Amino acid sequence: GAVVSQHPSRVICKSGTSVKIECRSLDFQATTMFWYRQFPKKSLMLMATSNEGSKATYEQGVEKDKFLINHASLTLSTLTVTSAHPEDSSFYICSAPGESSGNTIYFGEGSWLTVV
């Protein structure tokens, strides 16, 4: 079946620095990918829709200048957390719909970000 791979699985960064998380569709093309954030013991909150070849669409309340999304190819979307702060520490996870019809949605493994 389709696989979505996310990297890194865990990252620790210092306050004020930026960190990039990659989401790749390994055996299918994804013109659209989605980025979610999940705080401990909370639900997955949609942050933005990543669109190949165009600007990302951000959900209300998500700072587009802080969470930079780039979808430069049909198999890769990146999320860059800029000027990270401890409150940005969270589990970030991406998803991509499969190429066939039917709403099958594949999730990456997720990335734990800790800002110290």
Partner 1 sequence: GENVEQHPSTLSVQEGDSAVIKCTYSDSASNYFPWYKQELGKRPQLIIDIRSNVGEKKDQRIAVTLNKTAKHFSLHITETQPEDSAVYFCAATLYNTDKLIFGTGTRLQVFP
- Residue ranges that bind partner 1, judged by CB under 8 A: 32, 34, 36, 42-46, 49, 60, 91, 93, 95, 97, 103, 105, 107-110, 112
Q: Find the shortest distance in angstroms from Cβ 90 to partner 1.
A: 12
Q: Is 39 helix (H, G, I), strand (E, B) or coil?
A: coil
Beta carbons within 10 angstroms of residue 89's beta carbon: 17
Shortest approach of partner 1 to residue 34 CB, angstroms? 6
CB of 19 to partner 1, least distance (A): 18
Location of structure tokens 């909370």: 42
Q: What is the CA angle 86-79-21, rounded to 5?
A: 75
